[in-house]
């Protein structure tokens, strides 16, 4: 088997401002939703959202339900739960963090949106002072009502404690909604750890269920950005960023205990799997597709559906360069890619890929581009590129 791509196309672009980190998910009504960060790649930059009703061929902007969408989960009944990226420590409930949350029914036009505070109890996480953590950015209006609710009307930034996990993926197991998220933790120094959380009320309240991977000096950043997948044998599978290489771990008891994180390696070539935002999609037959990036943009697949036999790497950066060449873009104006230890993503791409199933053996892949020139006569833009990738039999 091999991964076969179509040519990428631009589905969104702007000559003013920046666009970062498109996250595309499928809703129960079959439509696609894209959340896209609009503004500088900095803390508290807002995200906006778009819908597509024709498999990514059309995109229509909609109002966002939370200021900076971190992740969303679609329940079988059509309810979409969304949680914001930023949690604030509740001074009256040690170990508890409050977030903006929203529940909506996108498949029912005009239906009401319920917005309420989401609370995550995670005593392992160490809160940090807002001003100490984010001196280069400051929460604007959307976050202050939540801060004032917790700390009072006359609060100052030096009094506010930021914290709680950044939720990066969710999955439903039985009557429980599981989430995976990361943050700085007590006793781990300046390293992140990843935890698994459980909710039994559609995401309104959460409890810390298990440690998935504890940060240490053995990794550059500890463990942070993680994806969560239910394998066809019922086990949970997590793939985790560590700052350089990518790790993975499994749970056989619904997320309460996890294997020791192990380096993720390809079975058919000696290529380092790194570095940011690993995303796993499960196809109809259980085959897994994994996206990862920086440097570059890569897809691999595992036909066993176990996470233990990754292979068939597709180099999407090379494919994009080939496409720009085909469109007559001069060599000096094409995407550079990160070929050194310093990643200047503002010139090129954030290399955060979104991978979404769109058929039994096919996925949609999206990624941002910066200062991107699409053809010989085009102006540079910031935007989003999308392509389809199909898993096909290899030539005999």
Question: Which pLDDT band, with edges at 50, 70 and 90, does 128 fall under?
Answer: confident
Higher pLDDT, 154 or 333: 333
- H-helix segments, 117-174: 130-133, 144-151
- Percent of the chain past pLDDT 90, that is, above it, reads 81
Q: Is the pLDDT reported for residue 135 higher than 70?
A: no
Q: Is the pLDDT reported for residue 208 higher than 70?
A: yes
Give the tens place of pLDDT for each residue, 91-104.
999 999 999 999 99
Q: Is the pLDDT reported for residue 339 higher than 70?
A: no
Number of residues that make up the chain? 396
The confidence score (pLDDT) of residue 136 equals 61
Q: Where exactly are the structural domains of the chain?
A: 1-61+317-396, 66-264
Give the tens place of pLDDT for each residue, 353-368.
999 999 899 999 999 9
Question: Across residues 126-145, what is the average pLDDT?
Answer: 78
pTM of the model: 0.95
Regarding beta strands 96-104 and 32-38, do their DSSP bridges make them parallel or antiparallel, or are they unpaired?
unpaired
Q: Own/partner pairs for 195-201, CB < 8 Å, 24+ apart?
A: 195/122, 195/124, 195/125, 195/165, 196/228, 196/236, 196/251, 196/255, 196/256, 196/258, 197/120, 197/122, 197/165, 197/167, 198/255, 200/175, 200/176
Region of poorest pLDDT, from 36-40, 252-256, 259-263: 36-40
Question: Across residues 153-172, what is the average pLDDT?
Answer: 90
Question: Which pLDDT band, with edges at 50, 70 and 90, does 343 fall under?
Answer: low
Q: Is the pLDDT reported for residue 396 higher than 80?
A: no
CA-based angle 243:292:169, to the nearest 5? 85
The confidence score (pLDDT) of residue 157 equals 75
Q: Is the pLDDT reported for residue 341 higher than 60?
A: no
Question: Across residues 243-248, what is the average pLDDT?
Answer: 94
The confidence score (pLDDT) of residue 134 equals 65
């Amino acid at each position: 088997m091999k991964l076969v791509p179509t040519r990428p196309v631009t589905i969104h672009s702007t000559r003013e401002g920046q666009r970062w980190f498109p996250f595309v998910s499928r809703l129960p009504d079959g439509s696609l939703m894209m959340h896209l960060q609009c503004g500088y790649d900095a803390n508290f930059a807002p995200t906006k959202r778009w819908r597509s009703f024709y498999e990514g061929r059309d995109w229509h902007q909609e109002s966002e339900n939370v200021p900076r969408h971190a992740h969303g989960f679609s329940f079988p009944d059509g309810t979409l739960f969304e949680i914001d990226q930023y949690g604030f420590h509740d001074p009256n409930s040690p170990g508890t963090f409050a977030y903006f949350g929203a529940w909506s029914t996108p498949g029912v036009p005009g239906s009401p949106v319920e917005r309420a505070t989401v609370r995550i109890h995670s005593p392992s996480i160490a809160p940090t002072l807002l001003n100490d953590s984010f001196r280069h950015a400051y929460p604007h209006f959307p976050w202050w009502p939540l801060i004032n609710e917790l700390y009072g009307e006359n609060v100052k930034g030096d009094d506010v404690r930021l914290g709680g996990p950044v939720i990066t993926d969710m999955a439903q197991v039985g009557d429980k909604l599981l989430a995976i998220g990361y943050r700085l933790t007590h006793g781990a120094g300046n390293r992140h750890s990843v935890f698994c959380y459980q909710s039994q009320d559609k995401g309104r309240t959460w409890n810390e269920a298990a440690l998935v991977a504890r940060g240490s000096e053995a990794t550059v950043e500890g463990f942070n950005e993680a994806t969560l997948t239910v394998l066809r044998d019922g086990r949970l599978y997590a793939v985790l960023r560590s700052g350089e290489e990518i790790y993975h771990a499994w749970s056989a008891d619904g997320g309460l205990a996890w294997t020791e994180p192990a380096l993720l390696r390809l079975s058919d070539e000696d290529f380092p799997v790194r570095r940011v935002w690993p995303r796993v999609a499960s196809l109809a037959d259980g085959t897994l597709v994994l996206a990862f990036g920086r440097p570059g943009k890569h897809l691999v697949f595992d036909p066993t559906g176990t996470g233990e036999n990754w292979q068939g790497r597709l180099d999407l950066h090379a494919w994009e360069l080939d496409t720009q060449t085909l469109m007559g873009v001069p060599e000096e104006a094409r995407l550079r890619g990160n070929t050194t230890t310093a990643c200047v993503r503002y010139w090129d791409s954030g290399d955060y890929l979104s991978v979404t199933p769109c058929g039994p053996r096919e996925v949609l892949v999206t990624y941002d581009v910066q200062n991107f020139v699409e053809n010989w006569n085009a102006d540079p833009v910031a935007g989003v590129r999308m392509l389809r990738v199909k898993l096909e039999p290899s030539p005999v």
